[in-house]
Amino acid sequence: MKLTFRWYGDNDPVTLDHIRQIPTMSGIVSAVYDVPAGEVWSEESIAALKKKANDKGLEFEVVESVPVPEDIKLGNEKAPQLIANYCENVRRLGKTGVKCICYNFMPVFDWLRSELEHQQPDGANALAYDDQTVLEMNPLTCELSLPGWDESYSKEELKALLETYKAMGEEQLWENLKVFLQAVIPVAEEVGVKMAIHPDDPPWGMFGLPRIITCEENLERFLKIVDSPANGLTFCTGSLGASVDNDLPAMIRRFGNRIHFAHLRNIKHTGTRQFEEVGHPTSCGSLDMYEIVKALVESGFDGYVRPDHGRMIWGEKGRYGYGLYDRALGATYIAGLFEAVERGRE
């Protein structure tokens, strides 16, 4: 496996110099951030990003994300051109040496939490989710703004979008995903890129929006749409693990060689559809991180790994979920788990 770290570019308070000092770090996970979803990234921007990383001794082999515009998920008349643009991005990234692209197919909202600064007993702040609170939230009026939310919509646009999705339903979303994959995967194969869809976070529907990348059965269905190694998964333990019905080690063993990227973090279930994010180690939460890593290693996983959301500790202020300290602790813990499991097999 290759250990990586998400970097949000020059505006990220976490710098490449911080990242390169985390032991065993191989590279960054990043994206071109100054282009609206749906547009083609310039070759210069991609090359500049790669150069910045390489100049610090870091690789740039993983992109997260090339966002999928809503029009593609909705399968409307703008979709064909936007899919062509998406393919062009995959082509350009492949040519620059990118090997893995993470993306998601979540309608409107990316990852969602009800609390951004949940106080923990040790004084850390963490992201938390409570379904009851979310059920009472109205995305058209609520004040909360989350990192995954696209702020570019007006209330009217958002309302129309929510209504269109509600009317559309899950099966049509599957159909639109199929159209997308059938166009993009052959291009990815051609340029040596592994596409890795990110599960829906949390893995259930909300605000009447369909969510489909949620559980073992649906992941199986997804992988069969285009049965190619280039059509793979980002195995995000915090997202899939939010549902107590998902048996993560079993899923890893089942999907093994189709997992190209792993987001490893722990969460603690605190009630029905209620959880909070915790430190990465097994004993901090509800997920068995050792069994997860063991399943990855025993399935022959040779993709990319990154620590996922960290808590805010040691007084750090920064991008929710993406501070330096707790993620760096997570990174070294993950590296330790891999070393122990791998050496145990020798």
68 in Cβ contact with 105 (< 8 Å):
yes
Cα gap 299→290, rounded to integer Å: 14
263 labelled catalytic:
yes
* Ranges within 88-107 binding ligand DNO (CB under 6 A): 102-104
Pick the catalytic residue from 87, 102, 215, 236.
236
How many residues sit close enough to ligand DNO to count as binding (CB under 6 A)?
A: 12
Nearest to 6 by CA among 249, 330, 280, 237: 330
Q: Nearest distance from residue 149's CB to ligand DNO, in Å?
A: 11
131 labelled catalytic:
no
The contact pattern for ligand DNO, residues 189-208, with x = CB under 6 A and - = no contact, is ---------x----------
Q: Nearest distance from residue 73's CB to ligand DNO, in Å?
A: 12
Pick the catalytic residue from 322, 325, 326, 333.
322
User: Could you write out the DSSP letters of every residue in 58-91?
Assistant: -EEEEEE--PPPHHHHHT-TTHHHHHHHHHHHHH
325 labelled catalytic:
no
Side-chain half-sphere exposure of 286, counting CA atoms within 13 A: 21
* Ranges within 290-309 binding ligand DNO (CB under 6 A): 309
Q: Nearest distance from residue 318's CB to ligand DNO, in Å?
A: 13
Residue from 40, 45, 97, 110 binding ligand DNO (CB under 6 A): 110
* Ranges within 199-258 binding ligand DNO (CB under 6 A): none
Nearer to ligand DNO, 103 or 275 (CB): 103
Pick the catalytic residue from 118, 198, 260, 280.
198
Q: Are strands 125-130 and 194-198 parallel, antiparallel or unpaired?
A: unpaired
326 labelled catalytic:
no
Nearer to ligand DNO, 39 or 342 (CB): 39
Residue from 59, 61, 64, 277 binding ligand DNO (CB under 6 A): 64
309 labelled catalytic:
yes
* Per-residue CA distances from 151 to 25, 71, 156 (Å): 33, 16, 13
Cα gap 276→126, rounded to integer Å: 7
Q: Are strands 231-236 and 2-6 parallel, antiparallel or unpaired?
A: unpaired
Which sign does the torsion angle of CA 242, 243, 247, 251 carry? negative
Residue for token pair 């890129």? 193
Which sign does the torsion angle of CA 18, 104, 260, 191 carry? negative
122 labelled catalytic:
no
260 in Cβ contact with 63 (< 8 Å):
no
255 in Cβ contact with 246 (< 8 Å):
no
The yes or no reply on residue 111 touching ligand DNO (CB under 6 A) is yes
* The two structure tokens encoding residue 15: 């710098």
How far from chain centre, in Å, is Cα 62?
Answer: 12
* Ranges within 318-337 binding ligand DNO (CB under 6 A): 321
Nearer to ligand DNO, 57 or 275 (CB): 275
The yes or no reply on residue 180 touching ligand DNO (CB under 6 A) is no
The yes or no reply on residue 12 touching ligand DNO (CB under 6 A) is no
The yes or no reply on residue 109 touching ligand DNO (CB under 6 A) is no
Residue from 80, 148, 281, 318 binding ligand DNO (CB under 6 A): 148
309 in Cβ contact with 146 (< 8 Å):
no
As annotated, the active-site residues are: 198, 236, 263, 308-309, 322
**Binding-site ranges for ligand DNO (CB under 6 A):** 64-65, 102-104, 110-111, 148, 198, 263, 309, 321
